[in-house]
Amino acid sequence: GIQVEQSPPDLILQEGANSTLRCNFSDSVNNLQWFHQNPWGQLINLFYIPSGTKQNGRLSATTVATERYSLLYISSSQTTDSGVYFCAVVSSNDYKLSFGAGTTVTVRA
């Protein structure tokens, strides 16, 4: 099956800092989503972004499908941004959403 690698595995930020999370995948994809799992365990949809660039407030994402990677940008981080960020993909010949191992983000006040 498709492989999904996220980096870095852990990230500690001071409030107000900017950061970039990366997701590499091993095959062409029809679907790519970024999720935030908050400290209560909820999986929150951030972006559906199989290609291109999207922005939502302080968050933005870019997927370069031809080079098989996606980036999630967090600007002016806040303590509420803490949690685990997952990248998940569906390969072009499949329907299963396969998850990366996640990046654990800790934002300190």
Partner 1 sequence: DAGVIQSPRHEVTEMGQEVTLRCKPISGHNSLFWYRQTMMRGLELLIYFNNNVPIDDSGMPEDRFSAKMPNASFSTLKIQPSEPRDSAVYFCASSPTGNSPLHFGNGTRLTVT
Binding site for partner 1 (CB under 8 A): 30-31, 33, 35, 41-43, 45, 48, 86, 88, 90, 95-99, 101-102
- Closest CB 15 distance from partner 1, rounded Å: 27
Give 56's contacts (C-beta < 8 A, 6+ positions apart). Answer: 46, 47
Residue 76 and residue 58: Cα distance in Å, rounded?
A: 7
Q: Kindly tell me which of 13 and 102 has the beta carbon lying closer to partner 1.
A: 102
The minimum distance between CB 39 and partner 1, in angstroms, equals: 13
